[in-house]
Amino acid sequence: MQSWIHNVAVATTGILVTVALLSPTSAAAKRAGKTVHTRTKVTLAVQASDKSRRGRTASRFASAKRIATRRGLRTVSHVTRRAEPPQLSFGQMAGLHATDDPLDLKSSVALVLDQDTQEVLLSKNERAVLPIASLTKLMTGLLISRSGLPLDEVITITQDDIDTEKGSRSRLTIGSRLTRGELLHLALMSSENRAAHALGRTFPGGMNRFVGLMNANAIMLGMKDTRYVEPTGLSSDNRSSARDLAILVAAASKDSLLRELSTSPGYEVAVGNRVLQYNNTNRLVRDPNWHIGLQKTGYISEAGRCLVMQARVAGHKLIMVFLDSAGKHDRLADAKRVREWVKLRHSANTSAGSNA
């Protein structure tokens, strides 16, 4: 195992929980002003949501159970599903969608910066700490790529890899055998949850060590608002800010393997006697008008639709982060708005320079 793994192992998950959730000191708070208010508001909304959701779920289940018992039903699962109302994202509950921005973005959180100069071109609630869904898998992929573990080692999908958090589906059935490289490809390109979980489960030292290293690496990168509890992003306890995610994208974009796998349009993998076709969850990678170096999408109801990318626009390498977009296609539409805005901005600056 490379020395990098040894270096990051000294940090622990417990340390990061403290770093991610504490507010700044009073002196820093006076300087931060609105930022502290936003982070506190999001934290309170998240805590209230967790408590409220548990209470509503228990109440609905008890009511449905009584109805099912009177009607002689064996199961109440279909009753509780019909009773479940649409769930608001944490950003919606915190009122972040009410924040104005010059491009009228549909994402409640956004950050666009020049990777080379670190100039912030656009910022919207960039310090709000929210669930990040499958954007988590970028850190999972970064750890696997840097570990030096053999990518041709065969890993078997087990019962432990089944999603008990959200009940998501997967075509990787129990007993499926794939190489570590194939699992990494599916996790980054098509956001395969069982693939990502298996990568963490089979890491030397097991899942607890892997999650500890995810948090340790976040600390080393300077991601002060970030906390991981598992490697897939299915848990809403995986949380970060747009500013932290921009740091992660910058680090991941320097890894040639992550760039290649995350931007692959499609991939076929042989599982037993079947050949499964997977496609990229981000259709922009197939658009010739885009020059994307790295990307990752994410979605759970608590996080909304999320997207991070490193892309070349008007000769500049841009890092784009969009969190908590309500509509299915809004995060991609936001990315397009930003691209056109940056191109117009570049043209205006070029014209001004030539006229000077």
Residue 137 falls in the annotated catalytic set: yes
CA 356, CA 348: separation in Å to the nearest integer?
A: 12
CA 152, CA 150: separation in Å to the nearest integer?
A: 5
At residue 209, what is the residue type? R
CA 330, CA 191: separation in Å to the nearest integer?
A: 19
CA 307, CA 166: separation in Å to the nearest integer?
A: 20
Residues 106, 124, 137, 224: which is the catalytic one?
137
- Show the DSSP H helices in 190-255 as ranges: 193-201, 206-221, 242-252
CA 67, CA 79: separation in Å to the nearest integer?
A: 9
CA 249, CA 252: separation in Å to the nearest integer?
A: 5
Residues 190, 191, 240, 325: which is the catalytic one?
191
Residues 49, 89, 134, 176: which is the catalytic one?
134
At residue 83, what is the residue type? A
Enclosing H/E stretch for 19 = helix 13-21
At residue 222, what is the residue type? G
Residue 256 falls in the annotated catalytic set: no
CA 341, CA 102: separation in Å to the nearest integer?
A: 10
CA 63, CA 55: separation in Å to the nearest integer?
A: 12
Residue 134 falls in the annotated catalytic set: yes
- Three-state secondary-structure class, residue 237: coil
Positions marked catalytic:
134, 137, 191
